[in-house]
Amino acid sequence: MRERITETAKYFFICTVLINAAMYICGMAFAPEQRFGYELLVYPIIYGFLACIPVFVMFTSKELTIKQTIIREAVQLILIIAIIEVIVFGGQIAGAEFIGARIAVGLAVVAIFFVAALIRYKLDSKTARQMTDQLKAFQESVEME
């Protein structure tokens, strides 16, 4: 359970930062004249939390095959896109005035998902390398005794 919470928290913070960047880019592209108050600062936190729900729910400590991992990641991505689209656009049915914004939000979610996965991979690789180095050092110290 602790590992699940740690992984979800890591994903939350990565997503929140990336969501801020995406909101800035999309905002400058679709409504550069619009100005907001401080209440806008809470939205990336809410979106980051919502993006973590599928990740938290679908987390498993069981070792997955590559195919299972790809399927799980695809389902998570679809759920995240659906959640964010519903929250951002509410019950509004796709109309001509929203189609560009919906596509931009969908693409932003996909980009954030892949960048977050890349960052998690890099962090996990670094941790694995450190653990391997520590294990080698330990084995060498045991062999010397």
pLDDT number for residue 134: 92
Q: 86-101: b or e for each residue (b if 16 or more CB lie within 10 Å)?
A: eebeeeeeeeeeeeeb
CA–CA separation, 29 and 37 (whole Å): 19
Write down the pTM of the prediction.
Answer: 0.70
**94-113 pLDDT, tens per residue?**
566 667 778 888 888 899 88
Residues of the chain with pLDDT below 70 are 1, 91-98, 145
CA–CA separation, 145 and 133 (whole Å): 19
